[in-house]
Chains A and B, each alone.
Chain A
Amino acid sequence: AQTVTQSQPEMSVQEAETVTLSCTYDTSESDYYLFWYKQPPSRQMILVIRQEAYKQQNATENRFSVNFQKAAKSFSLKISDSQLGDAAMYFCAYRSSKYNNNDMRFGAGTRLTVKP
């Protein structure tokens, strides 16, 4: 079974600085999807960014970008120009691309604190 590991339970960053959150995963599949979700204190899960494994180009969404290293099975999230509103739990998630496989696997999360 696929597993997702987030080795940093907590991270902090100064406002306007850059921070990178780490994620590694284990799979024997060659095609899959990877996601970063943000969970603020409201508990709402919000999609931050998504990466298809067959795409070599790293996904970007405004201040958020990923470093996808398929051979190393690594999927880190970089947040540039950090803002106070970025403070939240961040979850890395893996999903198989197989049509009948609906098991999205989540990591344990990284709590990000943004210092003013």
Chain B
Amino acid sequence: NAGVTQTPKFRILKIGQSMTLQCTQDMNHNYMYWYRQDPGMGLKLIYYSVGAGITDKGEVPNGYNVSRSTTEDFPLRLELAAPSQTSVYFCASSYATGIVAYEQYFGPGTRLTVT
């Protein structure tokens, strides 16, 4: 059981470039999330998904896009990278029913620098 895996671990982008951060979970969780963590700050939710084909915006969605074609995968797309997107990105997954939301399991993070 690998849990939540993310690739790449590190990436440097030039302003205006695009890239996709990959996230995969093998726990059959229905919920998946993308967070960013800026230096000295807590995590902020970018996008989340409650199941394949369903996504919704979090607190800071501008400049990002997501898709969820399978239960396992939840890629995050950055279009036209900007220096403000320099951050550490975490993917997470959890199981939730209509009553209970269980704890989130996090991937190891991707450190992205935009210069």
Is B58 within 8 A of A45, CB to CB? Answer: no
B20-64 CB mask vs A (1 if < 8 Å, else 0) is 000000000001010000001111110010100000101100000
Interface of A is mostly: strand
Instruction: Flag whether B90 is at the interface (Cβ < 8 A).
Output: yes
Is B108 within 8 A of A42, CB to CB? Answer: yes
Is A102 within 8 A of B31, CB to CB? Answer: yes
User: B56 contacts which chain A residues (CB < 8 A)?
Assistant: 102
Is A4 within 8 A of B90, CB to CB? Answer: no
Stretch at the interface among B69-77, B79-87, B98-106: B98-106
Chain B CB within 10 A, most for which of A33, A44, A108: A44
User: A35 contacts which chain B residues (CB < 8 A)?
Assistant: 103
Chain A CB within 10 A, most for which of B41, B42, B96, B109: B42
User: A45 contacts which chain B residues (CB < 8 A)?
Assistant: 43, 90, 92, 106
Considering the complex, give the chain A residue whose CB is closest to the CB of B88: A43
User: A29 contacts which chain B residues (CB < 8 A)?
Assistant: none
Is B58 within 8 A of A102, CB to CB? Answer: yes
Q: What's the least CB distance linking B4 to chain A, in Å?
A: 10
Measured between alpha carbons, how far is A103 from B45 in the docked complex, in Å?
A: 7
Measured between alpha carbons, how far is A86 from B40 in the docked complex, in Å?
A: 19
Is A43 within 8 A of B109, CB to CB? Answer: yes
Chain B CB within 10 A, most for which of A4, A91, A104: A104
Of all A-B residue pairs in the complex, the 10 with the closest CB atoms, nearest first, are A106-B42, A45-B106, A43-B109, A106-B43, A102-B48, A47-B103, A99-B98, A108-B42, A107-B42, A44-B108
**Known A99-B96, A106-B42; further 13 A-B contacts with Cβ < 8 A:** A4-B42, A33-B101, A35-B103, A44-B109, A45-B43, A45-B106, A47-B103, A99-B98, A102-B101, A104-B33, A105-B42, A106-B44, A108-B41
Which B residues fall within an 8 A CB radius of A? 31, 33, 40-45, 48, 50, 56, 58-59, 88, 90, 92, 96, 98-99, 101, 103-106, 108-109
